[in-house]
């Protein structure tokens, strides 16, 4: 994943960062926290799920995704979900660039 490219490309083109690019950066920033802020990470996941139902569906059907009760969710689980969302959002952003959007 070229997160640096997502940051620098809009600046090179003298344009604003799109909402999708901002969401990618927000997830990246969330994943950089050590230890992970469980509340903040969960809020970002929920926000992404509402904003991108297609991404929610893709993450939900991954073979390694396991549904758990909220009280059993660990930091590893949240990192997995954020990382999966990040991968799919980067893919979505790359597709948008290829389509000239």
Give residue-wise pLDDT tens across range 21-40: 889 889 988 998 999 999 99
> Does the pLDDT at position 16 exceed 90?
no
Answer for the pair 13, 65: CB distance below 8 angstroms, yes or no: no
* Full-model pTM: 0.84
Structural domain count, the chain: 1
Range of the domain at 13: 3-98
How many whole angstroms separate alpha carbon 10 and alpha carbon 93? 12
> Does the pLDDT at position 42 exceed 70?
yes
> Does the pLDDT at position 2 exceed 70?
no
Answer for the pair 38, 10: CB distance below 8 angstroms, yes or no: no
Higher pLDDT, 9 or 77: 77
Distance, CA of 37 to chain centre: 15
């Amino acid at each position: 994943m070229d997160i640096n490219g997502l940051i620098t490309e809009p600046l090179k083109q003298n344009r604003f960062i799109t909402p999708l690019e901002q969401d990618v950066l927000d997830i990246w920033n969330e994943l950089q926290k050590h230890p992970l802020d469980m509340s903040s990470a969960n809020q970002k996941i929920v926000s992404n799920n509402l904003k991108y139902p297609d991404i929610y569906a893709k993450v939900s059907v991954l073979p390694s995704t396991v549904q758990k009760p909220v009280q059993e969710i660990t930091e590893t689980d949240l990192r997995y979900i954020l990382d999966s969302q990040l991968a799919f959002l980067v893919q979505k952003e790359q597709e948008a660039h290829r389509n000239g959007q």
